[in-house]
Structure 1
Amino acid sequence: MKDEMNSMANNQVWDLVELPKGAKVIGCKWVFKTKRDSLGNIKIYKARLVAKGFTLQEGIDYHDTFSLVSKKDSFRIIMALVARFDMELHQMDVKTTFLNGDLEEEVYMKQLEGFITNGNNHIVYKLNKSIYGLK
């Protein structure tokens, strides 16, 4: 959980602000997953902060949805080029790739229990970047 919060801070995902009058605030939750190796041994415990984006309404809280993901066709083309030109292919995983999407809308999210800054319960997160769970 601390790693996830550090990633959020390093990527400047949000600013701490007072909730503007009339603004809607959404909740969030932790999603936990256990990653295992090929033998079934526990390799790593993962925690991901997810916004409760199901409370957002299209046309009111957001207008477009977009996700930066690759398509199967793109992958097949790359694999064909690698095979054709006898190239080497290296795979990598970017933990925080989802945090690169800037938000155009103003979205406010409640602070997490256990991570409330300086006892300021009335302060909320104003999201600058998209996080998992948003529409």
Structure 2
Amino acid sequence: AEAERYLVRQLLCLLQGKDRKVAELKIEEAEIEEIAETVGPNVEAVQKRWERILKVLIPIGCNLDALINYLSEEEDRRVMERYLDEQPLSKIAKAIVGISRSKVEETVKRVIKQWKEAAKENPTDPVSAMVKKER
């Protein structure tokens, strides 16, 4: 159960804005109607947003270790490991010598985008989608 909660917290790090709010409320077992009242605009939009979130997060969650290990740059791996451990960007920048906060932020955004694209392209094996893209 603790490992599950840890994975959920890691996956929440990959979301921002309304997506994150919807996911947090859903995890807290809020009904779609309640979420629509909080986040808006309506039940249908929230339901579609939640389905879209799951389409991306489930493949990433099932393959998170492999996705991290696949990152070709050691620096990217170190940044993402710390980011997924919920460390603030400024703390990550201080911990990794020679990397600025803006570079950390850029790395996080780039990697999350790659992972989301790979999860959409091949939900059963997002790592192979990333391998294919590099060729």
Same fold (TM over 0.5): no
Structure number with greater CO (CA < 8 Å, separation at least 6) is 1
Output the TM-score relative to the length of structure 2: 0.23
Higher helix proportion: 2
TM-score by length of 1: 0.23
Structure with greater strand share of residues: 1
Flag the structure with larger Rg.
1
